[in-house]
Structure 1
Amino acid sequence: MRKDPRPFEKYHHFKGHDYQILALAKDASYDRDMVVYQGLYPPYQIYVRELSEFMSDVDKNKYPNAKQKERFALITRTMPFADPSAPAEEAHVTNDLQGIRKNEERTETVIAPEPITNPDAGKVNPALMRFLDAEEVDDKLRVLFEIKDEITPEILTPMEISMGMEVSDDTVDKRVAMIKHTLSTRQQFEKNRLRN
């Protein structure tokens, strides 16, 4: 039996796209195990699917030409997606290795990465960090209001993802309005929940 997927693992769908696991979740209404995963291709859509369906095999009746057995196959670093119908390569080791002694030491050349010339590269925008660090919905709304002049499309994407929203390609103003709406809805929900 296959192991359940874990966050940050990558899977290859039998139709060709790759996905990354974001979380395992529980359906609150039906108590079903769910997988939350994101496409690793534009528009980087986030999906939810039942765990049993995610881990199932491809329906060979519906997809007779599928090249992999599982609907989603775990991607490992050494896992090539070669054509399984291609003829296996024959190894002609003896001729290729003439002149190499059995215990000869092999070395690899490692190229060091170029130094970062932009001192701001790799730094997280302080306005984004303030938003992400705010734990309560009220705090996030306050920070969103305070940083409104610093908001760029680049920091909106992680803000949307952190709230479980779909990443939008709308204008900055529309995206900020959607974040405000989502936060206001959560704020109202929290107030109603605390009253009961």
Structure 2
Amino acid sequence: MRREPKPYEIFTHFKGKKYQIITLATHSETREKYVVYQAMYDDFRIYVRPYDMFMSETDHEKYPDTPHKYRFFREDEDGEAVTGSGEVKLKKEHFAVQTEDDKEAAQTKTETAADRTVQNAKAEETMEWNIDPLVIEFLDADTHEARLNILAALFPRITDEMINTMAVAIDIEIDDGPIEQRYAELKNCIQTKIRYERRRQ
């Protein structure tokens, strides 16, 4: 059984891009476990994916040429490949040969990006592309009333990424549009859930 992801661990997607684990979250209604993780490239976008999907094996029927067993893997799992018999073996020939200088440059670049992300995550004032602590509270909240209060507190600094993350947590989808419109739609959905729950009591 694979070890559970932990905050700040670095995972590599089987297509090559790296991501850092932010936290694990639980869906408030279905109790399904999710992985919250951040891209370590471009705009450092934050993603949410069901835990089982994040930890699943690569679809080797769809991607027969990939040498990696898992969709996302740690550095110590790098190089695993599925053979025709289903056994897992290291396939060194699948990786490009690098000079020592190339390896050092790539390692330095990766470590620098990782250090920068960790430092920003621990800073008292997080950057815009880091997940907001209130969003984590929203994901962990037990009631829709609590989520509504957290959403109101987030309004002055709400972003599309925050709205997308919170929408996934309560199993809804918010259409693209102006940020104020998307905020209002998310708020209305939460209020509707509150009224529905009260009628059932």
TM-score normalised by the shorter chain: which range applies? 0.3 to 0.5
Q: TM-score, normalised by structure 1?
A: 0.48
Query: Which structure would you say has the larger Rg?
Result: 1
What is the TM-score when the length of structure 2 is the normalising length? 0.47
* Greater helix share, structure number: 2
Higher relative contact order (CA 8 A, sep 6+): 2
